[in-house]
Amino acid sequence: MSNRGKYIYGVINTGSHASGSSLLTSNGFYTVPYMDVSAVVSDSEIIDYTNLPGDVAAQRLIQHQLVIEKVMQKFTMIPMRLGTYVLNEDEVIQVLTKGHRVFKEIFEKIEGGMEINVVATWVDLNMVIREVSENEEVKVLKQSLLSTEKGITVDDQIKMGELIKSLLDKKKNEYVHIIKDSLKNLCRSMKEYTMTDDMTIFNAAFFIDNGMLIPFDERLDELNNSFSGKIHFKCIGPLPPYNFYVLEIKKLQYREIDQARGKLGLNTFASKDDIKRAYRRCASVYHPDKQFNTQSDTQKAEAEMKYDEITKAYRLLSVYCQHESCSMKEEDYEGNSIIVRIKEQ
């Protein structure tokens, strides 16, 4: 049994160039067209990316990104989640058919734009800590601890460390506010990420208009100068909208559709409005805001779990039902097993 399939890098907006033939290259990737969009694919062995060693996964990610960035030189592209495979070209067409409406909506939002990632780090964290240690609050606490007869205890050291950390966080937050306030008017959208180490003070993705790249770079230079060498800025891009719109496909089992239908109390044939009304009806019962103070914590937890279940069921059926109405009978299920959606970031 063959273990080969089609690896999908993403979807491009070909417009009047329906075939996307200009993308055919010797690099092994090519396009599969449908109406005014095309999938960028390559023939490949199907690999489970969840079990790859870290270094191999990183190499695959680089290859994935290089293809996308090459294609971006000619076409607006929505990237697909890393490691997306389908079995054959018929399934590629099914992806394009099912996702066409979603693709067009995203293309309207990203046309003429690009992603830029900005990371700001301390140039010398120890220097900043020494600067913070000169704060009057630190001096007062230090003097107070030194004046005690028992000497400085472990608890005193913890108290001093906590004070320095709070002052350092305050300084960091002030700088982050300045950075965000300076850049927010130059972008369409921004996504900020949680810091994972002490050296990084700011990490965010910006989606900007193509024509704003030079002003954006100039503003970063101004910021760099304004912090007098205390902060180093690293700018990565232009990139596809990895942090704003990444597609993923899911192959559903009939059991999942049937279970979702049951959770919303729907018949085997329903319209989009039927699905929406059923969700609202269930949500009005189990929504956390509808729970009473007289209920026990267990009852509230059960209601919250039920609400999550019906919300997931609604989202699944909303994507599954591609037209104004759809059948959820098992005999009508074949051909509707693939759904296309925006990956939650």
Q: Residue 118 burial by CB count (10 A; 0-12/13-18/19+): exposed, middle or buried?
A: buried
Q: Are residues 76 and 142 in the same domain?
A: no
- The percent of residues above 90 in pLDDT, for the chain, comes to 26
Short-list 218, 221, 216, 195, CA closest to 206 = 216
* Tens of pLDDT, residues 69-90: 888 888 888 999 999 998 889 8
Q: Residue 27 burial by CB count (10 A; 0-12/13-18/19+): exposed, middle or buried?
A: exposed
* pLDDT for the residue numbered 20: 45
Q: Are residues 121 and 225 in the same domain?
A: yes
Say yes or no to pLDDT of 288 above 80: no
DSSP state at residue 343 = P
Q: Are residues 143 and 106 in the same domain?
A: no
Short-list 38, 8, 9, CA closest to 21 = 38
Q: Are residues 224 and 126 in the same domain?
A: yes
322 part of a folded domain = yes
Q: Residue 225 burial by CB count (10 A; 0-12/13-18/19+): exposed, middle or buried?
A: exposed
Short-list 202, 199, 182, 201, CA closest to 191 = 202
* Tens of pLDDT, residues 17-33: 544 444 545 568 899 99
Looking at the 3D structure of the chain, how many domains does it have? Answer: 3
Domain end call among 111, 146, 166: 111
149 part of a folded domain = yes
Domain end call among 61, 80, 111: 111
Q: Are residues 143 and 232 in the same domain?
A: yes
Q: Are residues 103 and 29 in the same domain?
A: yes
Q: Are residues 119 and 210 in the same domain?
A: yes
Distance CA 14, CA 77 (A): 9
Distance CA 59, CA 259 (A): 39
* Tens of pLDDT, residues 43-75: 989 888 888 888 888 898 888 988 888 888 888
Q: Residue 197 burial by CB count (10 A; 0-12/13-18/19+): exposed, middle or buried?
A: exposed
Give the CATH number for residue 300: 1.10.287.110
Which two three-digit tokens encode residue 201? 């003070």
Q: Are residues 34 and 120 in the same domain?
A: no
- Residue 293 banded pLDDT, cuts 50, 70, 90: low
- Residue 155 banded pLDDT, cuts 50, 70, 90: confident
Say yes or no to pLDDT of 1 above 50: no
Short-list 138, 133, 118, CA closest to 201 = 118
* Tens of pLDDT, residues 105-134: 999 999 889 999 999 999 888 888 888 777
Q: Are residues 53 and 107 in the same domain?
A: yes
DSSP state at residue 244 = T
Phi, psi of 10 (to 5 degrees): 170, -175
Domain end call among 96, 111, 126: 111
* pLDDT for the residue numbered 42: 92
* Tens of pLDDT, residues 274-285: 999 999 998 888
307 part of a folded domain = yes
Instruction: Give the angle subtended at the CA of 49 by the CAs of 119 and 47, to the nearest 5°.
Output: 145
Mean pLDDT throughout 328-336? 73
247 part of a folded domain = no
329 part of a folded domain = yes
The domain in which residue 174 lies consists of 115-239
Mean pLDDT throughout 221-248? 88
Say yes or no to pLDDT of 300 above 60: yes
244 part of a folded domain = no
Q: Are residues 46 and 75 in the same domain?
A: yes
101 part of a folded domain = yes
Is the pTM here over 0.85, yes or no?
no
36 part of a folded domain = yes
Give the CATH number for residue 132: 3.30.70
Contact 95, 249 (CB under 8 A): yes
